[in-house]
Homo-oligomer: A and B are copies of this chain.
Amino acid sequence: MSMELTMKETIEVIDKELEKLLEHEKKYQDIVFDSINYSLFTGGKRLRPILLLKSCEMFSGSYENAIPFALAIEMIHTYSLIHDDLPAMDDDDFRRGKLTNHKVYGEAMAILAGDGLLNLAFETMIKYTIDNSNIMEDYIRNTKAIGEIAKYSGVYGMIGGQVLDLMSNDVAMDEDKILFMYENKTAALIQASLVSGAILGGAKDEEVENIREFGLNLGLAFQIKDDILDEEEDKEINKLTYATYKGLEAAENKVEELSKKAIELLSKYEDKDIDFLGELTRELIYRSH
């Protein structure tokens, strides 16, 4: 199957399952579900859940048992965008061509919708674990996957990156700090997706570590590529980026280096079907928008 078709099918699964998850009894707090749904179904690329499902499938041939985790990672990604857009943070009025959450539902509801999504992500993973673990191996695998996602989303992961991002206008930045910021702000959730997917697919410890490394290189390349595109499109950027700090050519060389490394790491799995992840990696790195 072509990558585009596989992508389309996987996104359909994710969207359908997300919709089911957000079904709820009509109760007094309805409005927070409206606010959550508004941001959850706003044309996101579903990149992280796709990586999670496809990483699982690569090791086990199927991704059925990874779906709740894929939904969780998308919910975590979405909550981070809602909070990131708030006036006190990036103060963005639009995202993907639509009004941001707080512009529609107000700041207070946007804060609660974000909190609710983060909480629901864990609620979903732990409920699945309780309801679907039949033997001790299931518990080990599921809790390990939750543990990876928790660590990469938290103060030692994505939130840590956001903190540095926030301060990047006020403190002296250097290459080390910029890469630390990218590793946490962007690569962390991509690593969380790939690593938890691999664990759920039954990958061996060594394979998990390899995938972790792959995710780091892919995540950094992805973020620097983003900077380059922003720069080339003359987007108004108020923050220091790798591309503005090192210059366009150095940034392009860095993307090249990182993606070569990523593909190299992936190629270790010659016995598995790595076509999809390989093609997606190239697509993310060589995209022109």
Contacts and interface: CB of A to CB of B under 8 A. Distances in A.
Interface stretch (A38-46, A61-69, A149-157, A256-264): A149-157
15 contacts: A27-B160, A28-B177, A29-B155, A29-B159, A29-B160, A29-B161, A32-B163, A33-B155, A108-B166, A112-B162, A115-B118, A120-B155, A122-B122, A123-B154, A126-B147
Contacts of A160: 27-29, 32
A89 interface: yes
A3 interface: no
Nearest to A151: B123
Interface residues of A, number: 58
A143 B28 CA distance: 29
B123 A108 contact: no
A147 to B, nearest CB: 5
Listed residue (A29, A146, A180) with the most chain B CB atoms within 10 angstroms of its CB: A29
A88 B106 contact: yes
A119 B29 contact: no
A12 to B, nearest CB: 25
A173 to B, nearest CB: 10
B143 A112 contact: no
A83 interface: yes
A79 B28 CA distance: 23
A267 interface: no
A161 to B, nearest CB: 8
Interface string A51-82: 00000000000000000000000000001000
Interface in A113-148: 114-116, 118-120, 122-123, 126-127, 129-130, 133, 135-136, 139-140, 143-144, 146-147
A248 interface: no
A75 to B, nearest CB: 11
